[in-house]
Amino acid sequence: MSSSPPISLADLRTEIDRIDTAMHELLMERGQAIERLIAVKKTQVSGSAFRPGREAEMMRRLALRHKGLLPLDTAEGIWRVIIATFTWVQANYEVHADVSGGDGAMRDTARFHFGFTAPYVPHDDAKAVIAAVAGSAGDLGIFRMDQGASAGAWWRLLVGPDTPKIIARLPFIERPDHPAGTPVYVIAKPLADAAVREVVLYVARVERWTAEMKAALAAALGEVTASAADSSGLSLLIAADGETGTGQLRAALGGVDLTEIGSHAARFAAPARQR
């Protein structure tokens, strides 16, 4: 019984070169498709090309199908650069970051999720980020979710029909050892046809926070993701399931007013590693 001859290093390197060439050709082919998309949608003059719902679904599919030797971190990072750069090609944008809680983690987040082509612009506080996004054609802004109350109730600056809104929560794929795992919100000018409403964000003000409120809010599938106190009470940033009605949330908080300031895709945990 004959056996196949062993594969030589030269043959393996030739195969790798073939795969590399094919990947490059596919990227250029994707670029040609984006050129046609720009011609059809005229996105170069119509503002942001960011589609957070579509991106979140793409990242979910990536994580679910991924297996083999290549770490998920690398695959996710490559896809994020591809998606973010082709989005930038459609409609140039900058990423404005609130670095009041530190620059390092925010810069890592911006570079991992948006690549190096989109300019990274640090700002001293949230007010400056929101003003920069509001004054742009289609820029993005990012805020740490875990920054302390000393950063102020930046979410109140998103109240109003024409102000920027939260459109995403990063990272799209969550895992304990994520290389850019700092949880952040992404803001942009309101997206009329691309927002995903699996989780909806609200601003509320209460005189004081109680254990009963926390329990009632949890029962309504909501949680406080940030809070800041001032002389008139406590300002809350609340994330709630998109299927939960505002009436149910108001009841959980004792009848206080709620103002919607954005929405994002639900959290997605990476599945166990496949080989």
Q: How high does pLDDT run on average in the chain?
A: 90
Q: How far apart are CA 119 and CA 126, in angstroms?
A: 18
Could you tell me if 239 and 112 lie in one domain? no
Q: Which two tokens stand for residue 185?
A: 């919100």
Could you tell me if 229 and 124 lie in one domain? no
Q: For 18-43, what is the mean pLDDT?
A: 91
Q: What CATH code is carried by the domain that includes residue 250?
A: 3.30.70
Query: Buried b / exposed e across 97-116, counting CB within 10 Å, b at 16+?
Result: bbbbeeeebbbebbbbbbbe
Could you tell me if 80 and 120 lie in one domain? yes
Would 270 be classed as within a structural domain? no
User: Coil, strand, or helix at residue 132?
Assistant: helix
For residue 258, pLDDT over 70 is answered with: yes
Residue type, 237: L
- State the residue for tokens 């302390």: 148
Would 207 be classed as within a structural domain? yes
Could you tell me if 190 and 224 lie in one domain? no
Could you tell me if 166 and 127 lie in one domain? yes
Q: How far apart are CA 113 and CA 173, in angstroms?
A: 11
pLDDT at 39: 86
Could you tell me if 144 and 69 lie in one domain? yes
Could you tell me if 24 and 88 lie in one domain? no
For residue range 145-161, what is the model confidence (pLDDT) as tens digits? 877 666 688 999 999 99
pLDDT category of residue 44 using cuts at 50, 70 and 90: low
For residue 73, pLDDT over 70 is answered with: yes
For residue 217, pLDDT over 80 is answered with: yes
Could you tell me if 129 and 87 lie in one domain? yes
Domain-terminating residue out of 158, 177, 195? 195
Would 181 be classed as within a structural domain? yes
Question: Is 164:189 a contact under the CB 8 Å cutoff?
Answer: yes
Could you tell me if 79 and 185 lie in one domain? yes
Could you tell me if 213 and 186 lie in one domain? no
For residue 58, pLDDT over 70 is answered with: yes
In the chain, how many domains are there? 3
- Find residue 229's DSSP bridge partners: 234
For residue 118, pLDDT over 90 is answered with: yes
Could you tell me if 219 and 164 lie in one domain? no
Query: pTM for the complete prediction?
Result: 0.90
Would 60 be classed as within a structural domain? yes
Residue 28: which domain range? 12-41
Domain-terminating residue out of 195, 215, 240? 195
Q: List, as one string, the DSSP characters of 98-126.
A: E-TT-HHHHHHHHHHHHTTTSPEEEESSH
